Chain A
Amino acid sequence: MIAWPSVTLDNLAIQNEAAKAHRQGCISPETLEAIRTAHPVKLYLPNPITRVGLFILTTIVVCFTTGFLLLLAISGESASLRAMLIIAALLCIGALEFAISQKGSYRSGINEALLWSAVGLLCTGIFFESHHVTENTIAIIVFGLTVLGTLRYADMASSAVAWLSFLFIIFQQAMRIPHGVQALPFLLMALSLAAYLVTTRLEKRPALRHYADCLTLLRILSLITLYMAGNYYVVRETTNSMFMLELQPGQGIPGGWIFWILTVIIPPLYIFLGIRKKDAVLLRTGIILIAMIVFTVRYYHSVMPLETAMVVGGLVLTGGAWALIRYLHTPKNGFTYAASDEPGMADRLKVESLIIAQTFTPGARSTDTNPTNFGGGSGGGGGASGDF
């Protein structure tokens, strides 16, 4: 089912494990070398920057090839354009299979570009000028294609799209049954919870080891959809726009308190469980969702002005981090502040410094937007810097 030979992927996992063990000083360089020769990997595995470059180039090729094919059929009927789109999609699949079987291309950026374009082109080809297709059919076809993509290429993005389109299908179906609307948030939450529990089990199954990354992503996503389905903002605004309730600002939804409780309680629960089980997925998802609590509460209740909230939040975060660093000065309860053994690509690329440079605006333009300007014409052009 999976496109690469199972042995090769196993060898890749062995090599990665051995490299990790070597970094931690558990095995000698000679052993590492012996393991590498005993379990060779004939795959093309470029580093992240190369992947980005290859992804862009492949996308360019696909665009121009599709354009070329469409140009050939430009004078014809819509059926011939549709045929060309599908031919282009098949060409992508063919190229992808060639790249994998002949060149051993694995997560190289070429794979992703070809697979995603193939799915996109196929969908465009199917839905092109078809006016009677319902949203439900589109969702089902997208779901089918992405599931196939996930199974064959273990592609993480495909599995994510498959999960979301599955939820969309459920959403559409639930609208048709009586009282389905009221039950919908709970139905989606129950499904997400089930998905989380199932993927957590499956992730540890040796038989599914090649799909471990997809399953991890699905775990994160199902945690997020579990929260979002019960989030007050999501529920209120969706019901409002879908069913024309025409709620006034400040007006709540029936049974809103349940969703308020869910909104506030789920992320801390994730964090608590994450700490207890020492599970990074739960912990980090919970931390990210805390931001969603802040957003939801602030959207409906102006607790304090934004800037005060920013200062307070900043003080809490900085102070909390400082306290944690001091607390974990010597490791406690199985937690440590020391970096883990995985040297991220982020370190080598100095990503952090680029992010700092991005979020830092050296003012020149920002002064122009100031409404009050009593510096006697100091506003125009390269004014003072830094005005945060």
Chain B
Amino acid sequence: MNIDTFSKLQKEGLISDEEMQRVTHTETTRLFSLHWEIKTALYLGVLLLSGGLGTLVYKNIDTIGHQVILLFIALLCIGCYAYCFRHRAPFSREKTESPNAFYDYALLLGSLTFVTFIGYLQYQYAAFGTAYGLAIFIPMVALFATAYYFDHLGILSMAITNLAAWAGIAITPFQVLSQNDFSNHTLIYTGTVLGIGLVAMAELSEKRDFKKHFAFTYRNFGVHIFFIATIAGMCIFDNWYFVWFLLAAGGVYLTWFRAFRDHSFYFVMLAVLYGYVALTILLTRVLFNHLANDFFLAFMYMIVSTISVIFLLVNLSKKIKQP
């Protein structure tokens, strides 16, 4: 806090002497926080450790022996979980505060090594035979359980990513568009269903008051997956694109109203943007594709419509700011 600003405010009579004293006291006794530095170090450490261990194991498979490796990974995993069990707060349906940052990352390392363990088991011994799905399913269940039991949003995201992988979709933020083959029809169906399912999970968490703060993560993944799938459907299906448009429009409608109720501008913006993309694709398919030589019209449409969307978003964000 800037003392000068507050002494000016004090002169203007806006803050009392007592408040000024409190400000000065807080400012002079303020400590330098290393929170950010320590958390980054922990996160990088866990990533390096799990990555390095994985490669180390992979390269030395012939000399160490599989049992030793498995044992080591298992011990590390158990160690991390044991630490978390000892330090965890009692289970609650509400958000629980983690005892310290180290706990969060120990849990993360434990989950990562558990996934490695199962993967290694399947890779080396084909423990689950040809039921490949099972090799993703088991870590997924474990991740969900961990996320709920220890209350960890990061692990919940991992679990959701795993759930999507189990269903055959990559939903890692930067890979959702590049790694999926949207010309595959099943992928679009699965994406739509998965999106609806995740949003339903968000609704359930809020309605049942069970880990309410998980709702954002569920809904975020769900809304994106749903819209990407339906918009892909609009592009891929030549005869049924209107059905997919209706689905997307329904999604926009529901997201819009839900977001207004929650005062969440983020989801309003998603609804507007995805709705705009869907509408533009519909217009392109219905209208512009048949106006062979008049692409000036299409250009004008793009310019005017995008500017209108900008104005719409600006006005909406002002409206939602003052609930």
Stretch from B18-26, B86-94, B196-204, B285-293 contacting the other chain = B18-26
A335-B34, A375-B126 known; A306+B55 contact, CB < 8 A? yes
Which residues from chain A contact B135 at a C-beta distance below 8 Å?
383-385
A340-B35, A378-B123 known; A50+B269 contact, CB < 8 A? yes
Contact A314 B49 (CB under 8 A): yes
Contact A60 B302 (CB under 8 A): yes
Contact B318 A310 (CB under 8 A): no
Interface SS, B side: helix
- Does A252 sit at the interface, judged by CB under 8 A? no
Contact B296 A68 (CB under 8 A): yes
Bound: A335/B9 CA distance, A: 30
A314-B46, A328-B34 known; A362+B52 contact, CB < 8 A? no
- Does B16 sit at the interface, judged by CB under 8 A? yes
A53-B313, A336-B32, A350-B216 known; A13+B5 contact, CB < 8 A? yes
**How far is the CB of B86 from the nearest CB of chain A, in Å?**
15
- Does B64 sit at the interface, judged by CB under 8 A? no
A50-B317, A321-B38, A331-B31 known; A382+B101 contact, CB < 8 A? no
Stretch from A41-49, A167-175, A237-245 contacting the other chain = A41-49
* Nearest residue, chain B, Cβ from A110: B310
Contact A31 B102 (CB under 8 A): no
Bound: A307/B60 CA distance, A: 11
- Does A194 sit at the interface, judged by CB under 8 A? no
Name B16's contact: one of A21, A31, A61, A306 (CB within 8 Å): A31
- Does B240 sit at the interface, judged by CB under 8 A? no
Interface string of A48-61 (1 = CB under 8 A from B): 01100110011011
Bound: A328/B35 CA distance, A: 10
Stretch from B156-164, B184-192, B245-253, B255-263 contacting the other chain = B156-164
A338-B35, A357-B161 known; A310+B139 contact, CB < 8 A? no
Interface string of A99-122 (1 = CB under 8 A from B): 000010000101000000000000
* Nearest residue, chain B, Cβ from A335: B32
Bound: A34/B13 CA distance, A: 10
Contact A362 B310 (CB under 8 A): no
Interface string of A4-43 (1 = CB under 8 A from B): 0000000001100110110011111001001100100000
Bound: A352/B98 CA distance, A: 15
Bound: A47/B102 CA distance, A: 30
A21-B1, A57-B310 known; A361+B299 contact, CB < 8 A? no
Contact A321 B154 (CB under 8 A): no
**How far is the CB of B218 from the nearest CB of chain A, in Å?**
11
Contact B44 A363 (CB under 8 A): no
Name A385's contact: one of B40, B119, B155 (CB within 8 Å): B119
Contact A352 B32 (CB under 8 A): no
Contact B31 A334 (CB under 8 A): yes
Bound: A302/B317 CA distance, A: 54
Contact A325 B38 (CB under 8 A): yes
Which residues from chain A contact B124 at a C-beta distance below 8 Å?
375
Which residues from chain A contact B41 at a C-beta distance below 8 Å?
317-318, 320-321, 324
Total interface residues in chain A, CB < 8 Å = 97
**How far is the CB of B57 from the nearest CB of chain A, in Å?**
9
Total interface residues in chain B, CB < 8 Å = 100
Contact B46 A318 (CB under 8 A): yes
Which residues from chain A contact B31 at a C-beta distance below 8 Å?
331, 334-336, 338
Name B158's contact: one of A110, A318, A360, A370 (CB within 8 Å): A360
* Nearest residue, chain B, Cβ from A328: B34
Interface string of B292-321 (1 = CB under 8 A from A): 000010011011001101100110011000
- Does B244 sit at the interface, judged by CB under 8 A? no
Q: A344-377: which have CB < 8 Å to B?
A: 349-350, 352-354, 356-365, 367, 370, 375-376
A60-B306, A321-B102 known; A53+B44 contact, CB < 8 A? no
Bound: A319/B2 CA distance, A: 36
Which residues from chain A contact B309 at a C-beta distance below 8 Å?
57
A317-B45, A378-B132 known; A353+B154 contact, CB < 8 A? yes
Which residues from chain A contact B112 at a C-beta distance below 8 Å?
360, 386, 388
Which residues from chain B contact A68 at a C-beta distance below 8 Å?
296, 299-300, 303
Name B133's contact: one of A61, A328, A337, A382 (CB within 8 Å): A382
- Does B146 sit at the interface, judged by CB under 8 A? no
Contact B45 A314 (CB under 8 A): yes
**How far is the CB of A52 from the nearest CB of chain B, in Å?**
9
* Nearest residue, chain B, Cβ from A287: B37
In the complex, given contacts A337-B101, A357-B173, what are 15 additional A-B residue pairs having Cβ atoms less than 8 angstroms apart? A54-B313, A307-B52, A310-B55, A311-B52, A350-B220, A354-B157, A356-B108, A356-B154, A357-B161, A360-B158, A363-B165, A382-B168, A384-B135, A385-B136, A388-B55
A sample of 8 inter-chain contacts (CB < 8 A) reads A50-B313, A65-B303, A311-B48, A317-B48, A319-B45, A322-B42, A386-B139, A388-B116
Chain B interface (Cβ within 8 Å of chain A)?
1-2, 4-6, 9, 12, 14-16, 19, 22-23, 26, 31-42, 44-56, 58-59, 100-102, 105, 108, 112, 115-116, 118-124, 126, 130, 132-133, 135-136, 139, 153-158, 160-162, 164-165, 168, 170, 172-174, 179, 216-217, 220, 265-266, 269, 273, 296, 299-300, 302-303, 306-307, 309-310, 313-314, 317-318
10 shortest interchain CB distances as A-B pairs? A310-B52, A314-B49, A388-B54, A317-B45, A314-B48, A384-B122, A318-B45, A386-B115, A386-B119, A356-B154
